[in-house]
Amino acid sequence: MGNSFGELFRITTWGESHGGGVGVVIDGCPPRLALTEKDLQPDLARRRPGQSRITTQRQETDAVRILSGTFEGKTLGTPISLLVENTDQRSEAYTEMQTKYRPSHADYTYDAKYGIRAWPGGGRTSARETIGRVAAGAIAKKILKKLFGVEVLACVQQVQKISAEINPDKFTLKQVEANIIRCPHKATAEKMIRLIDRTRKAGDSVGGVLLGVARGVPVGWGEPVFDRLEADLAKAMLSLPASKGFEIGSGFGGIAMKGSEHNDPFRMRGGKVRTTANRSGGVQGGISNGETIYFRTVFKPTATILQSQDTVSAAGKNVKLKARGRHDPCVLPRAVPMVEAMTALVLVDHALRHRAQNGK
């Protein structure tokens, strides 16, 4: 239960951190879409561990294999199965966690729910589960770009108290990928990196905020009442490991405004209904209004840190735990492709639902 996402474009991820591999099954992908492993690998490379000094040093190539659903480089319209093998597991670093619960991690809750857990690497709760999402998201992004002209991007906007002013309509993928923290504002990025370096050396971790955008989304995507576009985006973002908050458009900042200040006035421009501001974040009444969709997702500091902490053992005793192993001092740079993937999965699903209902 709880391992599948989407309606018409539906994915099911599978696998554990230290198992033989992880992957995803995708159902509902349109046929005749050109697709090979080369289309998927770039986003997996952006997500993989060991890519810089401010990420976990686990070394995985995360090379993806398409096992089904394509023929002669094109999708068949049948389920697509993708596999990424695990090659650099070091389960010995987790032996103490076999009997001790990591604070603010899922160790205790999984044990309480199932009575069993894959303790090496966190099992199913590890961020390696997101490999399937990112691979599926790469397909979704290709569909969105090819069929609908929609661009999906994300970037790091804030690390702890260090924040950048970023225009959702202006930043580019090139700017995001220009530094290891994936913040498109160079001067702010350098400050963020220095903070994470200090935190890593102290065996600690920090969190922050990611900005996600979708440009070129047409009017009409989204469903009332429970499948509002922003509701599905919120569920998608809050399903990611370490995510703790979501806001769209003006978000919580909107409470400081009056209605006369917050409303997005309508005007005709180029023969289309447009807004002169975009405090709604591109969604009104749960349906896209043709403006850029933008939102922010909060990620907490990584739960597993290399410092001694108070915890409880599986036997119910108060103990100390000092984790070993290789862990992210900040999840944000690797979360960027995850946010893009989940955004694309929501949007392609709603695009197909809209087309099925309206014929366009």
Residue span of the structural domain in which 289 resides: 88-358
Does the residue 31 lie in any domain?
Answer: no
Residue 70: φ, ψ to 5°: -135, 155
Q: Percent of the chain, pLDDT > 90?
A: 80
Residue 30 CB-density burial (10 A; 0-12 exposed, 13-18 middle, 19+ buried): middle
Q: What is the mean pLDDT of the chain?
A: 93
pLDDT (average), residues 68-91 = 90
In this structure, of 52-56, 60-64, 69-73, 134-138, the range with the lowest mean pLDDT score is 52-56
**Structure confidence at residue 342 as a pLDDT band (50, 70, 90):** very high
Cis before 225? omega within 30: yes
* Position 6 pLDDT exceeds 70: yes
Tell me, what's the pLDDT at 62?
86
Look at residue 211 and give its three-state secondary structure.
Answer: strand
Does the residue 10 lie in any domain?
Answer: no
pLDDT (average), residues 145-155 = 98
* Position 325 pLDDT exceeds 70: no
**Structure confidence at residue 163 as a pLDDT band (50, 70, 90):** very high
Number of folded domains that form the chain: 1
Tell me, what's the pLDDT at 120?
78
**Structure confidence at residue 95 as a pLDDT band (50, 70, 90):** confident
**Structure confidence at residue 57 as a pLDDT band (50, 70, 90):** low
Does the residue 9 lie in any domain?
Answer: no
End-to-end C-alpha distance for the chain, whole angstroms: 33
Other beta carbons within 10 angstroms of residue 290's beta carbon come to: 17
Does the residue 24 lie in any domain?
Answer: no
Residue 349 sits in a domain whose CATH number is 3.60.150.10
What confidence tens digit (pLDDT) does each residue in 13-43 have?
999 988 889 999 999 999 999 999 999 999 9
Tell me, what's the pLDDT at 88?
66
**Structure confidence at residue 304 as a pLDDT band (50, 70, 90):** confident
Tell me, what's the pLDDT at 19?
84
With residue 231 as reference, give the H or E element that holds it. Answer: helix 229-238
Residue 43: φ, ψ to 5°: -70, -35
* Position 117 pLDDT exceeds 80: yes
pLDDT (average), residues 293-307 = 93
Q: What is the distance between the alpha carbons of residues 210 and 192, in angstroms, rounded to a whole number? A: 13
Q: What is the distance between the alpha carbons of residues 161 and 249, in angstroms, rounded to a whole number? A: 20
Residues in contact with 103: Cβ distance below 8 Å, sequence separation at least 6, in sequence order: 303, 309, 310, 311, 321
Does the residue 173 lie in any domain?
Answer: yes
* Position 176 pLDDT exceeds 60: yes
With residue 197 as reference, give the H or E element that holds it. Answer: helix 186-201
pTM of the model: 0.95
Q: What Cα–Cα distance (Å) separates residue 266 from each residue in 263, 275, 276?
A: 9, 4, 6
Does the residue 3 lie in any domain?
Answer: no
* Position 59 pLDDT exceeds 70: no
Does the residue 5 lie in any domain?
Answer: no
Q: How open is the CA angle 161-163-166, to the nearest 5 degrees? A: 165
DSSP state of 129: G
pLDDT (average), residues 207-213 = 98
Q: At what angle do helices 37-47 and 130-143 cross, to 10 degrees?
A: 130
* Position 90 pLDDT exceeds 70: no
Q: What is the distance between the alpha carbons of residues 58 and 173, in angstroms, rounded to a whole number? A: 25
Tell me, what's the pLDDT at 153?
98
Does the residue 67 lie in any domain?
Answer: no
Between 350 and 94, where is the model more confident? Answer: 350
